[in-house]
Amino acid sequence: MMINKLQLNHFRNVQAASVSPAGGLNLIYGANGSGKTSFLEAIWFLSVGRSFRSHLSQRIIQYEQPNFTLFAKLSNDDKIGIQRQRSGDHQVRINGEPAKRLADLASMLPLQLISPESFTLLLDGPKARREFIDWGAFHSDPNFFGIWSRFRRLLKQRNQLLRQQASARQIAVWDKQLVQYGQWLTDARKAWVNSLNEALEGIISQFLPDVPIQISFSQGWDSKTELDQIYSSSLERDLQLGYTVSGPHKADLRLRVNKLPAQDSLSRGQLKLLICALKIAQGVVLSRQQQRQCIFLVDDLASELDQARRTLLLEQLQQTGGQVFVTAIEPEQLAMVPWDKKFHVEQGRITEQQD
């Protein structure tokens, strides 16, 4: 999937812009604060219905404007439009009709974001890594979203019963369904992680050829014990704490180097390359399994990477066959590859540059 046309109105410091990006490599360059990241943020918003920088509408809507509007026309002629008010109210339309759920946006416009904040994937807790796993499983299995949603509702109900000190018999009624959906959820995650590892092998050998990285899936409870036994044996502890301690909601993606966590063994530049490899592998798996292309948003690619690694990363992104948007301060920072299109951003004005 690719974006053929993108329109922004009153989004951050962009008053109005309409661009037609290339299907391959797109460079967005300009001084700090010019609006480069806002360009990527707008694309992200069209896919997930929220920002990757702020959850406050007042910070996203241009000063003294009542709302912002985003619009995209995709390569298959689908159209996505979003308008958000200062109050937080929003309208999401797909092909002119109100969207039934935000997940429909993600399905239409699969994105991977590589930014300075992407380090949270390795440096923060397991939540970010679960979301990373679930992105892949969501796009790989059409039933995943329904299973994931049902499991979350059941887990929420169980935790509420635990806080209310409900009887074991009451909780057992919910546990039966929770086990069923939890196992389905775990099986889907395992299948996706196996596919990810296959795609990662070649990419990591290019990015970090001398680093022995091991990637494994932790399902969230002792793999030698059945899930129903986990819930029953830990019930007394769960009642004392008021929440479910173990289960699929604690799943994680473990990345290690010589049996140590990757974040404790790699340099900052190596960590960035590992993150890039993981994100690119997501797109590769999507292409292999669904014959669909992922869009890559890369903010500040040049930071923490020398020229050789910048070149390698851009070549790997290009080889995915997906649409790529990369920001930089100066085009000379990334002059090592031929760009399909370049856009200069200055004080919120986005202008396509002709070579």
Give tens-digit pLDDT for 144-161. Answer: 999 999 999 999 999 999
Q: What pLDDT, in 10s, does the model give residues 227-241?
A: 999 999 999 999 999
Amino acid 106: pLDDT: 81
Q: Is the pLDDT of residue 32 over 90?
A: no
User: Global pTM?
Assistant: 0.90
Checking if the pLDDT of 303 tops 80, the result is: no
pLDDT at residue 132 tops 90: yes
Q: Which of 241, 247, 311, 249 is nearest to 276 (CA)?
A: 311
Mean pLDDT of the chain: 88
Residues in binding site? 30-37
The secondary structure element, H or E, covering residue 160 is helix 144-163
Average of per-residue pLDDT across 281-285? 90
pLDDT value, residue 78: 87
**pLDDT tens per residue across span 202-224:** 888 888 888 888 889 999 999 89
For 147, the token pair is 């299973």
More confident residue, 252 or 355: 252
What is the pLDDT confidence band of residue 192, given thresholds at 50, 70 and 90?
very high
pLDDT of the residue at 247: 95
The mean pLDDT value for 132-144 works out to 91
Averaged pLDDT, 287-306: 84
User: How far is CA 254 from its chain centroid?
Assistant: 17
Q: CA-to-CA distance for 112 and 294, rounded, in angstroms?
A: 7
The residue extents of the domains of the chain are 1-110+293-354, 122-288
Residue 355 pLDDT more than 70? no
Q: What six digits make up the tokens of 46? A: 């069209």
Q: Is the pLDDT of residue 56 over 90?
A: no
Residue 199: per-residue pLDDT:
87
CB atoms within 10 A of CB 28: 27
Residues of each annotated binding site for ATP: 30-37
- Top-confidence residue, 331 or 282: 282
264-286: average pLDDT:
89
Closest CA to 303 of 150, 112, 117, 154: 117
The predicted model gives 117-130 an average pLDDT of: 88
User: Residue 327 and residue 105: Cα distance in Å, rounded?
Assistant: 24
What the block records as the tokens of 245 is 């301690």
What is residue 57's predicted lDDT score, i.e. its pLDDT? 64
| Range 1-110+293-354 classified under CATH 3.40.50.300 | yes
Q: What is the CATH number of domain 122-288?
A: 1.20.1050.90
Report the percent of the chain where pLDDT is more than 90.
44
pLDDT at 101 over 90: no
Q: Is 267's pLDDT higher than 80?
A: yes
Two structure tokens written together for 104: 């429909």
Which H/E stretch holds residue 85?
A: strand 79-85
Question: Which pLDDT band holds residue 181 (cuts at 50, 70, 90)?
Answer: very high
